[in-house]
Structure 1
Amino acid sequence: MGVLENKARARLFYKYLSKVYDQVNPFIWNEEMRDEALELLDVQRDDRVLDVGCGTGFGTEGLLQYSEDVHGLDQSVHQMEKAWEKFGKHDQVRFYRGDAERLPFRDDSFDVIWSSGSIEYWPNPVDALEEFRRVVKPGNRVLVVGPDYPNSSVFQKVADAIMLFYDEEEAQRMFEAAGFVDIEHHIQQRSPGSPRAITTVARAPEE
């Protein structure tokens, strides 16, 4: 387990990263990549959408282009303060402080679940994905963006020491273990040589 897969350390990390997150993030996960991922999810105007690990609201901003009923959840109060400044105080988004592995929502609460840049900090990803399946309506879709596993063995060791990196095979295993079906994986990259994102779209089974 990487050092940032510990929730307390991750919160401390984001206490400081939140100050510069919006300046750093575009070098790894930019608007073009986000918009490509949103097209895969096919959000409808009347969908009730949950953004898990919303951070400073980068993904939230994209979701608001599709739906007027967006909810954001994060465990870092410092990250959420940034997001609330952008959207919450204008009543565009309702925010919750919470844990991806114990979502504070009833079963079948959302039409769509989005999560970008969060899974790499979850100590138990399958537990969180099972929570996604619980709170998304049967037959509906979720999308999760995480860091693709590096090809270099040196970078693999560094990555494993920091947080969760995974490839398509591991993504498939996690989503199947959580009970999802119709699982698709897409590799996204800002430019050649930059870090790659693995974007997974999956559907909760019908009841």
Structure 2
Amino acid sequence: MGILEDKSNARLFYKYLSKVYDQVNRFNWNDEMRSEALSWLEFGDDDRVLDVGCGTGFGTEGLLEHADDVHGLDQSIHQMEKAFEKFGKRDRVNFYRGDAERLPFVDDTFDIVWSSGSIEYWPDPVQGLAELRRVAKPGGQVLVVGPDYPHNRVFQRIADAIMLFYDEEEADRMFEEAGYESFEHHIQQATPRSPRAITTVARVPES
């Protein structure tokens, strides 16, 4: 387990990173990548949408372009305070402080569940993915963006020490163990020199 997969370490990390997160994040996960990921989802007129690990609200901002009923959850109050500045606490978005592995929502609540840049910090990613599936409605969609496992051996050692990185084979295993039957993976990259993201779009079984 990487050092940032410990929840207390991750909270401390984001206490300081939150000050510059929006500027730094765009080198790895930018507007174009977000728009591409959003294009893989099917939005309805009255969809209820959840952003798990919403952070400062970068993904949330994109979701608001497609849905009016948007909810955001994160464990870091420092990250969410940046999102409050953009959207208010209960204005355009309903925010909750919580844990991806123990979501504070009843079953079958959301039409779309989105999570970008969060899974890499979950100590038990399969449990987190199962929670996303649990709160999604039957036939709903789940989209998860995480860091693709590097090919360079030196970078692999560094990645393993920090947090979760995974390839398509590992993504298959995690999503299948979490109960998903239909999903597909996409590789995204801001620039040829940027770290690659692995974006999975899954459909929740109807029954």
Superposition TM-score tier, normalisation by shorter sequence: over 0.9
Structure 1 residues 11 and 138, CA gap change in structure 2 (3 angstroms): same
Which secondary structure state, in structure 1, belongs to the residue aligned with residue 169 of structure 2?
A: helix
* Cα RMSD, aligned residues only: 0.8
Matched residue type, 1:184 = E
Gaps of 5+ in 2: none
2-11 or 34-43: which moved more? 34-43
Matched, 1:12 2:5: no
In structure 2, give the amino acid aligned to 1:43: F
Cα deviations by residue, 1:140-185 (Å, 9 ceiling, x for unpaired): 1100000000000110000000000000000111001011121100
1: CA distance, partners of 2:36 / 2:107: 29
Aligned-partner SS, 1:27 = coil
8 Å CA contact retained: 2:139, 2:206: yes
Q: Is it true that 1:168 corresponds to 2:168 in the alignment?
A: yes
Which amino acid is 2:66 matched to?
Y
- In 2: Cα distance, 1:128 partner to 1:23 partner: 27
TM-score normalized with structure 2 length: 0.98
Equivalences for residues 44-83 of structure 1 within 5 A: 44-83=44-83
Aligned-residue offset at 1:90: 6.7
Give 2:196's aligned residue: 196
Report if the CA contact (8 A) 2:89-2:95 is conserved: no
Question: How far apart are residue 203 of structure 1 and its match?
Answer: 1.1
Q: Percent identity?
A: 75
> What secondary structure does 2:50 align onto?
strand
Deviations for 1:104-155, whole angstroms, at most 9, x for unmatched residues? 0000010000000000000000001111111000111100000000000110
Structure 2: distance between partners of 1:2 and 1:88 = 33
Rounded to whole Å, the distance in 2 between the matches of 1:45 and 1:163 is: 37
Tell whether 2:114 aligns with 1:138: no
TM-score, with length taken from structure 1: 0.98
How far did 1:43 drift?
2.3
Unaligned runs of 5+ in 1: none
Which one-letter code corresponds to 1:62 in the other structure? G
Distance 2:84 2:44 in 1: 23
